[in-house]
A and B are shown apart, each in its own frame.
Chain A
Amino acid sequence: MRICLTSLLLLCFACNETKRPLESIAEPIGIDQTITDQSQYSTLGLTKLSEYNFFDGKLSDLIPSKRVISYDLNTPLFSDYAKKKRFIYLPEGLKIGYRENEILDFPIGTVLIKNFFYSSGQLQVGTAKILETRLLIRENDGWVALPYVWNHEQTEAYLEITGGKIPVTLRNKRQINYLIPDMNQCKSCHDKGSKMTPIGPSVRQLNRLSDSEKKNQLEILRDHAWIDLPSHELPKLAVWNNNKTGTLSERARAYLDINCAHCHNDEGPAKNSGLNLTVFETDSYRLGVNKKPVAAGRGSGNLKYSIVPGHPEQSILIHRMQTIEPGTMMPELGRTVPHKEGVALIKEWIKNL
């Protein structure tokens, strides 16, 4: 009797479905920046980047014109190792409203200009290559995001609402199929309380020396009479890869804040997960410590908790940052390779929790 039952048990264990191996993703066909003017998009915005007159001289030199000021962030979003040149265009006579913790209050007419490029030092062949320029335009009824794709000759960028895919070879022979988001993908990240919003330019992110002028970026804006600053000390986010700017925890939290918290906040698209990764979160459970996934599907990677203190290898957070499998990887959009250095930082942080 006992033997029979045991064999029954064995059989039932043995006959689990055989697992299908993961299918490899087919190599996408690149558009390689053969982009042209599409008049059908003209109701959405200017179809050529040059028509906005944001830049003086040769367009690809990205020399800001009057009313355009460049800025950087303390800890930026990772985008497949692409470098970024960011600018603010502010209409004459207007001012940016100061907000301590949120994105600054940009007036109607503001345009945030973000150029994505690989430097000649990164590329296996050729000179620096700008791939795309994203505009966030503050219109009467809110922000609008428009993606512009640069042509191969680097003389113009065209509005391309369906986005694109550009194959790039880096010096280390790494192949990247750089993905340009379509217009609707933009809001998958730029969404706060169902409204389109910028992600980067908060006081804590802008509070740093300008690369070119060796002067604090916020003071530059103030000296241009673009913003009024309070007299108290301004919040400052750590630079994720500079340990002089913050503790391990501060740098890790800064990294999670910009790379994850645009969705994982109480008003963001990932609020249904109950995981909140903003730099302001103080509840360790909501930060993911010993928190079970809610609707992660195979994103859990057979792991039980978002963060297991001391054990990055058991933490879903790390698993989803490392993988490049769509449906599992985090963030869901905007990268096709893992950010090795960023993952290392978060691993170190979890190890020391």
Chain B
Amino acid sequence: MSTTAPADVERRSKLHDPIEAYRRMFEIRTFEDQIMDLFARGLVHGTTHTCQGQEALDVAIAASLRLDDAVACTYRGHGVALALGMTPDSVLGEIMGRQSGCVGGVGGSMHLSDPDVGLLPTMAIVGAGFPVAAGAALAFQTRQTDQIAVCVAGDGATNIGAFHEALNLAAVWKLPVLFIVDNNLYGEYSRMNLTTPVEDLAVRATSYGMPGESVDGMVLDTVTDAVRRHVQRVRAGNGPSLLVAHTYRFAGHSRADQASYRPEGELDQWRQRDPVKLQREALSGNADAATLDALEAEVVTEIAAVIERTMAAPEPPVASMFSNVWSPELQMAGGH
């Protein structure tokens, strides 16, 4: 198991530099494109959910939180994991079912975690993260620390009961939790308007007496500013809030989904507002094109090396399917 604490924590600390923030966004994009390629080539098994188009929000969350804050995230979590600091080796190792993965290869694409950077195990059940994040916040409130919890989930998840119950509970108990909805317009294969009667999901906060705000999720500075404001407000003891970031899911829902249900031209229109491209443009005052080209080339080379290392990494032994099922004393007693 790879508990590369220094590497992930160090990666996390870099995001305050706008160029490094861009590097991370470009890394997530490159990583996800490569995952789709590996999947198409049969080298990633099972299923996988990529997050191209959502990189600005992922990096904004990571840049706004402390290492001792807690994050609950979904199965579309590669970007959040990388942004929070998890190494590409640890994430890809898990996605490819290798011992080098964050849980040694028994979890897979939908189940990433790294307590060193605050990432709880990512959940493959829609909406499961809302109450879990509220519970993490309950622990912080009980211990009277100034840590906070964040739940990041998709627009589709706001139609599940757990969203509503968790927001209500967090509001009445004034828990230090920030609920972030990554509104990428699609819940699985359905466009949001077919499943959800309100266009602006932030209005759902009103029923629970908490602030709700919608923000452009494609512009790193804009979304980072919004996440920071909400984080500060929650950390100051003002109770929970709901932040909705408007993004777009450039890829399909999962696996080989070509997303043919999208209206023609919609993807191209959103590609004009590609968050990676926009951030590169925003950096024109800080870095010249040659510098950014070199940075991008470095990332591409690094990810290629990660893939090579991961392909060569061993698969987990049979014993690993029996590990970590029970508490250590029961495990020692021969839980199986």
The answer to whether A and B assemble together is no
Binding site for A on B (CB under 8 A): none
